[in-house]
A and B are shown apart, each in its own frame.
Chain A
Amino acid sequence: MSKSVKELLSDKEFIRKVEKLKKLYPEERSSLLALLHLCQNEISYIPHEFQEFVAKELNISPAHIKGVVTFYEMFFDKPKGKYLIQVCRTLPCMLAGAEILLEHISTKLGIQPGQTTPDGKYTLVNVECLACCDKGPAIMINDNLYTRVTPDEFDNILKELK
């Protein structure tokens, strides 16, 4: 089980990391993306409390941080599942059958893109190009890339995920 935001913000080790990242850039506010990544790596999403914390640290309005977090598809402001399943929806993958695959995953897991299963295990999202246009349809589960995925193949992958 990952830490709560409160625990994270009172963790001295974490704060040291924040300070270090801030000093990495000529202007402190440039460290925003790095800080957001840091938080997401630690607790899998970027809660509002952390956004407010960063706003104070970098002297930016909290609203602006929210704008950045919602702009990037890679950032999540709600808790996501243990496995993040990203399905490419760009043209070459779509032509190679991404649409059918997505529908299959959707029915298999019982969730729509953007949703998380009630047990908190899987989150399904659509993403833009995964840079495997020659081997579509491509999906990415957490940091692992799978190419030429058919619905059957997906079922096999799913079995391996615990």
Chain B
Amino acid sequence: MALVLIDGKEIVVNPEETLLQAALRQNIYIPYYCYHPSLSIVGQCRMCLVKVEGAPKLLTACTTYVPELPKEKKIDGKYDMKIFTKSEEVKEAQRGVLEFLLLNHPLDCPICDQAGECQLQIYSYEYGNSRSEFRFEKLHAPKRVDLGEHIVYDAERCIKCTRCIRFCNEVTKSGELTLIKRGVHTYVDTFEGKSLNNPYSICTADICPVGALTYKEFRFKERVWFLQATNSVCPECSRNCSIRVDTYKGEIMRIVPRFNPSVNGYFMCDYGRLVSERIKNKEVREIPSLREKGILEPRMEKGFYKILLSKITRKYEPKDVAVILSGRMTNEELESFKVFSLIVFGEILGDVLYITGEKDDILVKDEKRANYCGAKFFDLKFTKANENIKNIIKGKKLVISIREDIFKGIKEEQVKEILSSVEIFVVMDAFFTETAKMSNFYIPLASWFEMEGTTFNYDAHLQKISKCVSPPKGRKPFYDVVSLMLNLLTEMEIKDFETAKEKEIESVKKVLDTFKERDVMKGGFVPWFKEVKNAIPQLKNISLKDLAPLGFSAKGKKDGDN
């Protein structure tokens, strides 16, 4: 461990970290382009030049390690190195580096997507010259190069920091990119006949400090300073990558990974990132609909739910009812489902449809829904994907499908055959899917990006999802639908409805209210849960009962009662 005096301030530099890393860690800012915490160190951009006392020339902070000096050699009897980051010499060097970087730069900020979050712009204001000494014609380089399915490259804006190249070599290990030619003619390219098509390719646009790499799905969509950022979680697999959702006027413009060391690090996969593009193409219906004379017709909300409740509440034996749940449901939704099931059917039903797919060694997990871990905690039954749909539905009279498009890709005749014994088929989903079109009752729900909630990832890491855009009035989170239905139940007279006494409904409401109010990320849930996790290493063994002290109600016991 070395002690360094940097601009008159003492910092500690560990043997395994560089000066830049140590400075950044201790809140001293040194400008840099090519350094990225998750990539190897190359010292390519020269932006982090600092003055080291005794060194013959300026050194790049990102490649400088600080050895501990023997006692008699220490500077001022104490320090191992003395650094200046704001001296005239350093400032002059920073101006010089920036001038070189901008020498052949087209200065096309008004049409550049990176403008507003561009390190060239930011550093030019802070460390650069307001004008260039370069009086000659600028060199031209390839523009609008299609590097791959998503990525577009502009060599004139590129500062050759090689972050994208190192990303492909070190993170995805696919090595598609390289620097070709030399000197001022250098630019990034792929090998002949190959393109940048790895599952994480868009991350190269994220880590590009300038506007050289942009991706087609966001290119020319919106100026970044108009975007409103909301933190949330990616729904596409059980990794639950932390994301930032950038919206503009109620529309999701892009999703970018948010640094979270215990979940996804700095990156996320392209598939998860482009979920916003996929949901844009999906059909939606905003009003609850009821099938009459063969046609699904929109209905007024209250009347609709009254008809639905009168037809399903305690009308069927639990053995005649199948409920298909989804790993897309948040903890709050799963919990409210249990309450709903208990009151409406008399016991807790439900099969969580377990959908798996391909995984890789980087981030993508094989479980293709976000909150399977949550469903495990809630003691719900799991059923493996599509081939078993038939077995779940077989012989049932009432089928409820929540947030899953269970008949996707199945022919209509086959669906009719599967549903032959079913009298009432209720579908609750954010989208008007193929399955929804076959239903007797369709309830539109808020989508993943339209509601609040919490979700557990595969490692039982709890994260909060946020309402990034507001859903239209008719589309509600599932817990709001349940809350509405339970309220209506108190108004309705239902035969054989004995368990749903007023007091019980009151306590259920309390449970739901705690869900809405509790901010789990700030509250005591996480530390408490870690204790449980340490005590019981196998996550499987953690049941709902363990969650009871925090207001997650256990079977047969409502926390409002005590």
Question: Which A residues lie at the B interface, using CB under 8 A?
Answer: 48, 51-52, 60-67, 70-71
Closest chain B residue to A69, Cβ basis: B180
A71–B175 CB distance below 8 A: no
A67–B180 CB distance below 8 A: yes
B179–A61 CB distance below 8 A: no
Report A-chain residues with C-beta under 8 Å of the C-beta of B121: none
A71–B182 CB distance below 8 A: yes
> Digit string of B178-191 for contact with A (CB within 8 Å is 1, else 0)?
11111000000111
A63–B182 CB distance below 8 A: no
| Interface residue from B169, B174, B192 paired with A66 (Cβ < 8 Å) | B192
Q: Complex formed: what's the CA distance from A51 to B193 in Å?
A: 13
The answer to whether B176 has its CB under 8 Å from any CB of chain A is yes
Report B-chain residues with C-beta under 8 Å of the C-beta of A61: 169, 174-176, 178, 191
The answer to whether B143 has its CB under 8 Å from any CB of chain A is no
- The interface centre, meaning the residue of A48, A51, A52, A67 with most chain B CB atoms within 10 A of its CB, is A67
Report A-chain residues with C-beta under 8 Å of the C-beta of B390: none
The answer to whether B443 has its CB under 8 Å from any CB of chain A is no
Q: Complex formed: what's the CA distance from A48 to B177 in Å?
A: 15
B175–A63 CB distance below 8 A: yes
Q: Complex formed: what's the CA distance from A62 to B194 in Å?
A: 9
A48–B181 CB distance below 8 A: no
A63–B190 CB distance below 8 A: yes
Chain B: minimal CB distance from A61 (Å): 3
Interface contacts beyond A64-B175, A66-B192: sample of 6 additional A-B pairs, CB < 8 Å, sorted by A: A48-B192, A61-B174, A62-B194, A63-B175, A65-B191, A70-B181
B176–A63 CB distance below 8 A: yes
What is the number of residues of chain B that contact chain A, defined by CB distance less than 8 Å? 16
Chain B: minimal CB distance from A85 (Å): 21
Question: Which B residues lie at the A interface, using CB under 8 A?
Answer: 169, 174-182, 189-194
Chain B: minimal CB distance from A36 (Å): 15
Chain A: minimal CB distance from B42 (Å): 14
Report B-chain residues with C-beta under 8 Å of the C-beta of A66: 178, 180, 189, 191-192
B192–A64 CB distance below 8 A: no
- The interface centre, meaning the residue of B175, B179, B180, B191 with most chain A CB atoms within 10 A of its CB, is B191
A-B pairs under 8 A by CB, number: 40
Report B-chain residues with C-beta under 8 Å of the C-beta of A64: 175, 178
Closest chain A residue to B174, Cβ basis: A61
Q: Complex formed: what's the CA distance from A66 to B174 in Å?
A: 15
Q: Complex formed: what's the CA distance from A12 to B225 in Å?
A: 62
B191–A51 CB distance below 8 A: yes
Q: Is the interface of B mostly helix, strand, loop or mixed?
A: loop
Sample 17 A-B pairs with CB under 8 A, ordered by A number: A48-B192, A48-B193, A52-B191, A61-B169, A61-B175, A61-B176, A61-B191, A62-B175, A62-B194, A63-B178, A63-B190, A65-B191, A66-B189, A66-B192, A67-B179, A70-B180, A70-B182
Report B-chain residues with C-beta under 8 Å of the C-beta of A51: 191
Closest chain A residue to B192, Cβ basis: A48
Q: Complex formed: what's the CA distance from A52 to B194 in Å?
A: 11
Closest chain A residue to B185, Cβ basis: A70
Report A-chain residues with C-beta under 8 Å of the C-beta of B180: 66-67, 70-71
Report A-chain residues with C-beta under 8 Å of the C-beta of B176: 61, 63
Report A-chain residues with C-beta under 8 Å of the C-beta of B175: 60-64
Q: Complex formed: what's the CA distance from A48 to B176 in Å?
A: 15
Q: Complex formed: what's the CA distance from A63 to B196 in Å?
A: 11
Q: Complex formed: what's the CA distance from A32 to B192 in Å?
A: 19
Chain A: minimal CB distance from B200 (Å): 16
Q: Complex formed: what's the CA distance from A70 to B192 in Å?
A: 13
Report B-chain residues with C-beta under 8 Å of the C-beta of A52: 191
Chain B: minimal CB distance from A74 (Å): 12
Chain B: minimal CB distance from A77 (Å): 9
Closest chain A residue to B182, Cβ basis: A71
Report B-chain residues with C-beta under 8 Å of the C-beta of A67: 178-180
Q: Complex formed: what's the CA distance from A70 to B174 in Å?
A: 20
Report B-chain residues with C-beta under 8 Å of the C-beta of A62: 175, 191, 194
Chain B: minimal CB distance from A9 (Å): 17
B181–A63 CB distance below 8 A: no
Closest chain B residue to A71, Cβ basis: B182
Q: Complex formed: what's the CA distance from A65 to B176 in Å?
A: 11
- Knowing A61-B169, A61-B175, A61-B176, the reply to whether A71 touches B181 (Cβ < 8 A) is yes
Q: Complex formed: what's the CA distance from A48 to B194 in Å?
A: 12
Closest chain A residue to B186, Cβ basis: A71
Closest chain A residue to B190, Cβ basis: A63
Chain A: minimal CB distance from B187 (Å): 10
Report A-chain residues with C-beta under 8 Å of the C-beta of B169: 61
Report A-chain residues with C-beta under 8 Å of the C-beta of B194: 62-63
Report A-chain residues with C-beta under 8 Å of the C-beta of B193: 48
Report B-chain residues with C-beta under 8 Å of the C-beta of A65: 191
- The interface centre, meaning the residue of A51, A60, A64 with most chain B CB atoms within 10 A of its CB, is A64
Report A-chain residues with C-beta under 8 Å of the C-beta of B192: 48, 66
Closest chain B residue to A68, Cβ basis: B178
Closest chain B residue to A63, Cβ basis: B178
Report A-chain residues with C-beta under 8 Å of the C-beta of B189: 63, 66
Q: Complex formed: what's the CA distance from A62 to B190 in Å?
A: 9
Chain B: minimal CB distance from A126 (Å): 13
Closest chain B residue to A73, Cβ basis: B182
Chain A: minimal CB distance from B173 (Å): 9
Q: Complex formed: what's the CA distance from A66 to B178 in Å?
A: 8
Report B-chain residues with C-beta under 8 Å of the C-beta of A71: 180-182
Chain B: minimal CB distance from A131 (Å): 19
Closest chain B residue to A70, Cβ basis: B180
| Interface residue from B178, B179, B191 paired with A48 (Cβ < 8 Å) | B191
Closest chain B residue to A66, Cβ basis: B191
